[in-house]
Structure 1
Amino acid sequence: MSTEPDSLILQLLRQMRAELGTVRAEVETIRAEMKDEFAEVRSEMHSLRADVASDLLVARKETSEQIVGLRRAVIEYHSSVIGHGVLISELEARVRRVEQHLNLPSSDPH
């Protein structure tokens, strides 16, 4: 080793090296923390994705049930209307027969 006094530049370089080591350690600490937080966010995203998928399935099931109910109601209504139409047609035919039997003028506007 030399007995020469350390130069100012050499002292500054040694201080910078020590500070750089400290900065590297801090960066590694921050990197590890960010990695943990990223893993946590990823886990939360998977959980939210599962929740949304579950909610969509429930909504789809409820919508399907409502559609089935509406179909039943329309079929029942349609059957009822057709039934009334048949009754009215039968009544009109009976009225025509009565009119013919009694030699009355037809009530049909045609």
Structure 2
Amino acid sequence: MAFTGFGGSTSGTTDFTQELVSATGLAERDRPADLRVWPNPTPDGTFTIDAGEARILGLEVLDASGRLVRSLGALSAAPFTMELGGLGAGSYTVRLLTDRGPAVARLLRQ
């Protein structure tokens, strides 16, 4: 919200004019990517990632302790399928860096 002007009078009344600039403080083009991860939970470690119209500039998978277990650079295809081969059952965090900002999702491997 921004005040765009005000005026006063000798009667003690003050008028303020205000304008709603942005309800969230983020311009439309700055919204984070809409991240979808499926199937979730994944029974075999294979999952698909879709960031909507955002370009994926980097991808990280972290285990429950926050340790980086997989990392990829820019992805040209969307949606993108990834395999968690060699990683056990548990909770993982999928973190994307996109041209619209970061996006995070939880992934369960059975």
Mark yes or no: TM-score above 0.5.
no
Q: Larger radius of gyration, structure 1 or 2?
A: 1
Higher strand share: 2
TM-score, structure 2 normalization: 0.24
Which protein has greater RCO, CA pairs closer than 8 Å, 6+ apart? 2
